[in-house]
Amino acid sequence: MFKFIHMSDTHLGSRMYMSDEREQDFYDAFQEAIDISVREGVDFIVHSGDLFDTWSPSNLALSKFRDSALAIRDAGIPMYLIMGDHDRPKRADYPAAEIFNFLGIRLLGREGLETTIHQKNGEEILIAGISNLKGFRRSQLLEEYRKAENSASGFSNSILISHQAITGFLYDEACEAKPSDLPANYSYLAFGHVHDWALKTDARPVFSYAGSTEMKSTREIRSFIRYGKSVNVVSIDNGSVSVERIPLKSVRFQYLVATSPGSYITDIEEAISKYSGRFGNKKPIFTVRISGTADRDKVISDLKKYDGIIFRPPEIIPDHVDVETRPGMENMSDYIGAYFRDHPELSELVTEYYRNARGDREAAIKALLERLGVSE
Ligand SMILES: [Mn+2]
């Protein structure tokens, strides 16, 4: 019998709204997931990618991860992980997670399928990993899934870790493979990339997106309200799988008030009375989205009276915009892609600077000069 934690998309170092508090939220949620792993006495941890928010994390993000890596090493718990689209290094750099391999952090599948066997009391479980394949690597994906299927034959216990969008779990344009493309002979498919939690136990193999541990986008709020954020505790015994979700209590509460110019105050107050029991120790973040014509300054001054709540700048959407056709996208690179849709090379360039610079003007200029071949 093997027992492990499946966590995903922890995005350490994510700094939303340029806020130290928001950066700390991601560290808190990850720390809680690590604490749960130690408390549950699991055999190992599976992380399905986007450990860090970028391929070049800050020293603070690296040191936070170091502390957790030391804690699980001391508890005798190795971590098997893959790279997500966020933490795959550009050019010829070295994956950040690999720096910690001496602490039992085992990064799998940099360039395609990679497998390892975890043993305990004479029993073994196959752990297969394929780091995120996108861009020019994406054509390789289905072939890697077929290789994974071959590797698992003969194992009664097996896990495949992958970080891709599967049809049915994200809007169609973003999907990279169908459920029928996935290897069928694994015990458990540990997926990352989609930030909303999902679990399918009605067919073999058991499939799960563990979901992000904190919210990277307001698009995650709907699922968060319904299911919360969590990690999976998975037990595999002779190929039979059981999954228990353990909720993360440190996640900062967020709510989206979709409202109209005449009723935003009422709707905010209704949400406060309905959800205040879930706020916890951290001030909740509310996003107010008003459909119709509203005076932004008046809305902002009205929001000031709720000092127990952090409001993001209000979104005011004029009537003539069809809300349903706005890009329902997960991250900034998707928006950049949509804006430069006729110029993929520009979109790639802008996305690269956006990712690399992370709000750091000097880093952006340096990268631009490098790109132009002008070095200092
Ligand atoms: Mn992610």
| Centroid of ligand 1 to alpha carbon of 199 (angstroms) | 17
- Residue 8 Cα to ligand 1 middle (Å): 8
Give the strand pairing for 114-120 and 105-107: unpaired
- Other beta carbons less than 10 A from residue 11's beta carbon: 27
CA distance 349 to 333: 10
Tell me the fold of 2-247. Purple Acid Phosphatase; chain A, domain 2 (3.60.21)
Closest CA to 312 of 231, 221, 233: 221
- Centroid of ligand 1 to alpha carbon of 237 (angstroms): 30
Gyration radius from the chain CA atoms: 22
pLDDT at 358: 62
Q: pTM of the predicted model, to two decimals? A: 0.84
> What's the gap in Å between 85 CA and the centre of ligand 1?
7
β partners of residue 125: 118
- The separation between the first and the last C-alpha atoms of the chain, rounded to the nearest angstrom, is 58
State the Cα–Cα distance between residues 333 and 37, nearest whole angstrom: 33
- State in Å: Cα 356 to ligand 1 middle: 16
Q: Domain limits of the chain?
A: 2-247, 254-325, 332-371
Q: Is 132 exposed, middle or buried (0-12, 13-18, 19+ CB in 10 A)?
A: buried
Tens place of pLDDT for every residue, the chain, 376 residues? 999 999 999 999 998 777 889 999 999 999 999 999 999 999 999 999 999 999 999 999 999 999 999 999 999 999 999 999 999 987 778 999 999 999 999 999 999 999 999 999 999 999 999 999 988 888 899 999 999 999 999 999 999 999 999 999 998 888 999 999 999 999 999 999 999 999 999 989 999 999 999 999 999 999 999 999 999 999 999 999 999 999 999 999 999 999 999 999 999 999 999 999 999 999 999 999 999 999 999 999 999 999 999 999 999 988 765 545 555 566 677 778 777 776 677 777 777 777 666 666 666 777 777 666 665 4
Q: What is the pLDDT of residue 29?
A: 98
In the reported structure, the alpha carbon of residue 6 is separated from the centroid of ligand 1 by a whole-number distance in angstroms of 14
The answer for residues whose C-beta is within 8 angstroms of residue 30's C-beta and 6 or more apart is 10, 12, 64, 65, 68, 213
Ligand 1 centroid–CA 300 distance in Å is 31
Residue 376: what pLDDT?
45
Enzyme catalytic residues: 86
How many Å apart are CA 375 and CA 121, to the nearest integer? 57
Give CA–CA dist 261/43, Å, rounded: 53
Using the mean position of ligand 1's atoms as its centre, give its distance from the Cα of residue 331 in Å: 9
Give the number of other Cβ atoms within 10 Å of residue 315's Cβ: 14
Is residue 4 within 8 Å of 42, Cβ to Cβ? yes
How far is the centre of ligand 1, averaged over its atoms, from the C-alpha of 320 (Å)? 32
Q: What is the pLDDT of residue 373?
A: 65
> Quick one: which of 3, 14, 72 has its CA closest to 213?
14
Report the pLDDT value the prediction gives residue 90, as an integer from 0 to 100. 79
Helix axes 361-371, 344-357, angle to 10 degrees: 140
| Residues flanking ion ligand 1, Cβ below 5 Å | 9, 50
